[in-house]
Structure 1
């Protein structure tokens, strides 16, 4: 009998909190307690069967405010307004990657505005941590080559994000 043991993907997650805004101490404490490494590693493991990710990888996660993300949004997308999340993929999804790379594969960076996340959490009537899981999962999916140029693609991506957010909630409890 053949038994396939699924090898988890090792992920290095670099979290940089450069937020300089007016969030309450309770909100900042909740953000600091988020188990980002656990969440993202679990997401990679759950996505392994539907993505081409077969090796160790690393990503950067930057938590910032509206002013900083607006500057990046203007510089890279020519949109002079804040946004909730930006993802900067380091590789193109259609480029085949060699499987024998010894170093972890750098996937790119996800940048989240904590100011916008807080507003959206209030509008959606859920916790800030839930909104941050939603935004981070969206960014991670973009780093893995997912996109939403049309309604069908968007619906698939939102469905996958929901699964990842649920996985985050299970991990946090």
Structure 2
């Protein structure tokens, strides 16, 4: 089956348990993820369509999720739960007609705000850095050693250059 030249992404963005602050819009996130997927060229979806959910939340919520699913009772900046890590019978047939779910990204806005490098480095820049990192995890990237981490950080830098 022929696929679209550019990947499409259905992105669900939710803000939960965070103070109302100036965050990127859902339309901005969708544009950024589409550009990133175009660059990354994932091949798993026969129709070149993907789904990602993004939750922007606070430290308490991300700590609870980190404790429940990773057994680390502490807040973190980003969690990525890849949907394709488990085998699902019939998936190849299903994804011939519907977008392939890549997974869920959860980002703590509170942690992102704290770990900004300096005043010139905006909260949006930190959030997009974390989202790009999480997306790479959803697509199977990992950093078990220094060389892998450098490779992943270089790719994140490339992805951010696409939306600058």
TM bin, normalised by shorter chain, reads: 0.7 to 0.9
Question: What is the Cα deviation at residue 33 of structure 1?
Answer: 7.5
**Cα RMSD over matched residues?**
2.4
Q: Which runs of 5+ in 2 are unaligned?
A: none
1:49-128 matches, cutoff 5 A: 51-54=42-45, 55-92=48-85, 98=92, 101-123=96-118, 125-128=120-123
The TM-score with structure 1 as length reference comes to 0.81
The TM-score with structure 2 as length reference comes to 0.86
Question: What is the Cα deviation at residue 129 of structure 1?
Answer: 0.7
SS in 2 for 1:42: helix
Equivalent residue, structure 2, for 1:139: 134
Contact (CA 8 Å) 2:18, 2:109: kept in 1 or not? no
- More displaced stretch, 127-136 vs 86-95: 86-95
Question: What is the Cα deviation at residue 41 of structure 1?
Answer: 0.3
Question: What is the Cα deviation at residue 121 of structure 1?
Answer: 1.3
Aligned residue pair count: 157
Contact (CA 8 Å) 1:83, 1:113: kept in 2 or not? yes
Say yes or no: does 1:15 pair with 2:9.
Answer: no
Return the match for 2:147 from 149, 152, 158: 152
Q: Which runs of 5+ in 1 are unaligned?
A: none
1:106-157 alpha-carbon deviations (Å, 9 max, x no partner) = 1110000000000111558511111011000001001111111111111110
How far apart are the structure 1 equivalents of 2:99 and 2:27? 23
